Amino acid sequence: MSKEEAMAAYVAEMKKVAQKIIDTVPMDETTEEMFQYFEPLYEVIHDMPRPPEAFFKRKKGAKQVSSISYT
């Protein structure tokens, strides 16, 4: 197996795992943190399975609130 074939197989496996997580894990506040680990992959693997867009909008709104400084 060439380097390119190995990388393609690895990416294909990551896509399968991401889809399995999306299909089996409930999309609620408790799973929001889990998807932060996938965010770098979404930037480089454009067809990586993703949760619904509303999930990310809710997450971004929560991030904005938590980043407020009270100093």
Whether the Cβ atoms of residue 45 and residue 11 lie closer than 8 Å to each other: yes
pLDDT in tens, 22-53: 899 887 777 777 777 888 888 899 899 988 77
Confidence (pTM): 0.64
> What spatial distance separates the first Cα and last Cα of the chain, rounded to whole Å?
56
Spans of all domains in the chain: 3-65
What is each CA distance from 29 to 3, 11, 25, 39, 71, in whole angstroms?
39, 27, 11, 16, 27
